[in-house]
Amino acid sequence: MSQSPEKPKTLMAILLNGVAQLEYDRSKPLSDFQNDYLDNMDRKMDGGIELGESVVDNPDVMQRVKFVSGNLLHAMKADDEAMSAAFCSYIATRMPDLDQVRITDINDEISIELVFDQEYRRQITIPLASLDS
């Protein structure tokens, strides 16, 4: 019996300190404008990026995604929804096997973990009133 090909991952999430902040649904196509914007981001990064305390002249996809994840954190902190959405889209489209980006920001110590082996499950809200029953 042959195995069926693995189903493509459709949902990716950005978590900040363990709480989901953004979800990206890969099944919804981007507009031409959005794709052009993401391609332009790549062209800008072709000239090199600053990652941590070093400059990377020719960043690979993993380095680009980490760089964009750092910028995403700044956009989320600034409540810049448009840039947050663009950065999230970049990450999800450039790494289609990525399940989650776990960003930890505690006392200005930042860590970014890219998770490929734990499918994201949407969080649910339980109304407090239902706990009294």
- DSSP letters for 75-90: HHHTT-HHHHHHHHHH
Retrieve residue 124's tokens: 């649910």
> What is the model's pLDDT at position 10?
87
Range among 72-76, 107-111, 114-118 with highest mean pLDDT value: 72-76
Q: Quick one: pLDDT at residue 1?
A: 43
| pTM score | 0.82
62-98 pLDDT, tens digit per residue, is 999 999 999 999 999 999 999 999 999 999 999 999 9
Residue 103 reports pLDDT greater than 90: yes
Residues 2, 130: Cα–Cα separation, whole Å: 47
- Rg of the chain in Å (alpha carbons): 17
Q: Rounded distance, CA 77 to CA 79, Å?
A: 5
Q: Which contacts qualify for 39-48: CB closer than 8 Å, 24 or more apart?
A: 41/68, 41/86, 41/90
Q: What pLDDT, on the 0 to 100 scale, is given for residue 119?
A: 75
For position 4, what pLDDT does the model report?
A: 42
Query: What are the tens digits of pLDDT across the range 1-45?
Result: 444 445 567 899 999 998 999 999 999 999 999 999 999 999 999
Question: Residue 27: which of 96, 114, 119 has the closest Cα?
Answer: 96
Residues 6 or more apart whose CB falls under 8 angstroms from that of 38 comprise: 30, 86, 89, 90, 93, 94
